[in-house]
Amino acid sequence: MHDEMTAKTKALEKSQNETVRAIARRIVKEQFDKNESAAARALGISQSMLHEFIADPPKRGAGVRVLNGLAKYLGWTIDEVLRGERTLTVPSHLDDDAETAETIAFATKWLGVQQEAVDRAMTLCKGGTRMPAKQLLEQLVAAQNALQFEVSVGEVEAKRLRGEVDVGDELDPPLDR
């Protein structure tokens, strides 16, 4: 299985490797203030692997771990990482609603709203109910915030289970008197 996956990633076109490398470099620079160690931790890969991948000139191509780490971090599919762009999925009952599709596209591209948040917000539009663009945008952002909160709570719970944090201290900080 490992050899099969390795063989598939070694077959990446040069342009795909460069696209993925540009994404990784941008994440390291813009979201981690050039801190490769912190970025590598967030991506679930070693710092040396990340460094070798984004080096100029690069010392390695995008392997399975790099692709999976970027996809998970961004909330994208591997195909989206390889293309360097998010594919928008608009529910089929709204295919002909250009304003809704445009609002969703704006939210995903510029506000970082993930597909799961879009799916949650769009449950309010089932049955053909149309939502004004401003209200839809508010729902998309609220769904994304809820999703991020769930992830944060999940991370705190995981740390508590590993004994790294006392949840009481994390959720109820002492009052300053």
| Tens digits of residue pLDDT in 109-163 | 778 888 888 888 887 766 566 778 888 888 888 888 887 777 666 666 666 676 7
Residue 73 is predicted with a pLDDT of: 84
Residue 88 is predicted with a pLDDT of: 56
Q: What is the CATH number of the domain that holds 13?
A: 1.10.260
Number of domains in the chain: 2
Residues 104, 137: one domain? yes
Provide the residue range defining the domain that includes 111: 92-171
* DSSP at 149: H
Domain C-terminal end among 61, 83, 105: 83
Structure confidence at residue 36 as a pLDDT band (50, 70, 90): very high
Both ends of the chain: CA-CA distance in Å? 60
Domain C-terminal end among 83, 102, 122: 83
What percent of the chain is predicted at pLDDT more than 70? Answer: 69
Measured CA distances, 47 to 16, 38, 67, 150 (Å)? 21, 8, 15, 27
pTM of the model: 0.50
- Residue 68: pLDDT above 50? yes
Residues 11, 47: one domain? yes
